[in-house]
Amino acid sequence: MAKKEEKLNYAALSRELKQKGPERLYLLHGEEDYLLSSFIKELTAACLPEGADDFSYRELDGGSLTMQLLSDSVNALPFATERTLTIVRGYDINRMKDAELKALERIVSDIPDFATLAFVARGPLEPDGRVKPVKLLRKYGRDLNFTEQDAGALTNWLRRRFAALGKGISREACEALIYASGSLMSSLVPEVDKLAAAVSGDTVSVEDVEALAFRIPETQAFDMTDALAGRDFDKAARLLSDLLAMGEEPLKILGAVGYNMRRLYCARLAGEEGLGDAYIRGCTGIKYDFVLKKLKQSASRYSLGGLRRAVELCAETDYAIKSSPRSDEELLGELLARFAVECA
């Protein structure tokens, strides 16, 4: 079983910043862009409550950053403020040269009391905890990984956001939205706005979500396996065509289908062996009751042997895509046909 990822408690982090004030050094990263951006705004307000200016606030471009420029910024005295804030974006911390690393240590080990320095590392620049520069920043500063929020925190956030737009929404509808559009807040914000504007009544229902919310490719892949379970092969083929038309890579589509087939196999096995929902959650990482219910319903339409064969077919197709001269699209279409014949 994969190691459980520790979730960042943003509410506690925000309270701590307000109560204790900013620290001298931060390493900010993680896939939850919405929370990371929110923290930078709070950090800026905490450092510069009267507002930022060119003397007290600097954003440095990592592509042109030198250690001398960084040192000058960090050690510059505040002007008309009590603190200064330097934010570095786009710097590849993982690939620093030895000379740069020594200079960086001199800087971060002696940041003035009046200064705060924050490195923002997103996407391909996500820090590698095994390399010396990242270990150095963690030694002298605060490493904050902005992860996806847990089910309770995300559901509460969604309900507050809908309420601010004059709409109510049930926990089940929140879970349906997370299932459809993903669990990253930056992806959910436009969906909340769209649903609040489109639904005429006071409450957003599960049916509203399923009719109107954008469905991410991973969800469409699950819908495809669900259609196969219901013997709706036309719908499964249509969903596959939609994913390919969206530009999704065939191997990624296959990976999502194979992942869902393994989850379905786990749910079917748990049902036959009486292992219970906790076993399914532990093996699949499912956090939401809505998703668990859908998974169990879909798994019940297959036989255990049929799902075992489905997992095998996904592995066989993966090998074929990587080794066969036939087109990836043709092999995926054949996979659906073989599901229909061999996994009933």
102: domain CATH number is 3.40.50.300
Q: Are residues 181 and 200 in the same domain?
A: yes
The answer to whether residue 4 is domain-embedded is no
Q: Are residues 137 and 187 in the same domain?
A: no
More confident residue, 4 or 65: 65
Q: Are residues 238 and 323 in the same domain?
A: yes
Q: Are residues 298 and 198 in the same domain?
A: no
Q: Are residues 207 and 286 in the same domain?
A: no
* Mean pLDDT, rounded, of the chain: 90
Span 31-48, average pLDDT: 94
pLDDT at residue 32 above 50? yes
Residues 31, 231: Cα–Cα separation, whole Å: 36
Work out how many domains the chain is built from and give that number. 3
- What pLDDT was estimated at residue 45? 93
Q: Are residues 97 and 174 in the same domain?
A: no
- What pLDDT was estimated at residue 54? 64
The answer to whether residue 103 is domain-embedded is yes
Q: Are residues 25 and 136 in the same domain?
A: yes
The answer to whether residue 105 is domain-embedded is yes
Q: Are residues 197 and 294 in the same domain?
A: no
Domain boundary among 145, 169, 187: 145
Q: Are residues 318 and 192 in the same domain?
A: no
- What pLDDT was estimated at residue 3? 42
Span 271-283, average pLDDT: 90
- What pLDDT was estimated at residue 4? 46
The answer to whether residue 281 is domain-embedded is yes
pLDDT-derived band at 344, boundaries 50, 70, 90 = low
- What pLDDT was estimated at residue 341? 83
The answer to whether residue 234 is domain-embedded is yes
Query: Which of 268, 267, 249 has its CA nearest to residue 318?
Result: 249
- What pLDDT was estimated at residue 29? 96
Span 169-197, average pLDDT: 93
Q: Are residues 224 and 319 in the same domain?
A: yes
The answer to whether residue 2 is domain-embedded is no
Q: φ and ψ at 59, to 5 degrees? A: -110, 125
- What pLDDT was estimated at residue 52? 59
165: domain CATH number is 1.10.8.60
Q: What residues make up the domain containing 251?
A: 217-342
The answer to whether residue 1 is domain-embedded is no
Encode pLDDT of 213-250 as tens digits.
999 888 888 888 888 877 888 888 899 998 888 888 99
Domain boundary among 159, 179, 212: 212
pLDDT-derived band at 103, boundaries 50, 70, 90 = very high
User: Each residue of 283-313: b (16+ CB within 10 Å) or e?
Assistant: bbebbbebbbebbbebbebbeeebbbbbeeb
Q: Are residues 302 and 222 in the same domain?
A: yes
- Residue 173 CB coordination number (10 Å): 25
Domain boundary among 196, 212, 228: 212
The answer to whether residue 127 is domain-embedded is yes
pLDDT at residue 35 above 70? yes
Q: Is 4 exposed, middle or buried (0-12, 13-18, 19+ CB in 10 A)?
A: exposed
Q: Note the pTM of the prediction, 2 decimals.
A: 0.79
pLDDT at residue 2 above 80? no
pLDDT-derived band at 194, boundaries 50, 70, 90 = very high
Encode pLDDT of 118-155 as tens digits.
999 998 899 999 999 999 999 999 999 998 888 888 99
Residues 54, 57: Cα–Cα separation, whole Å: 6
Query: What sign for the dihedral angle of Cα 250, 254, 260, 263?
Result: negative
Q: Are residues 48 and 85 in the same domain?
A: yes
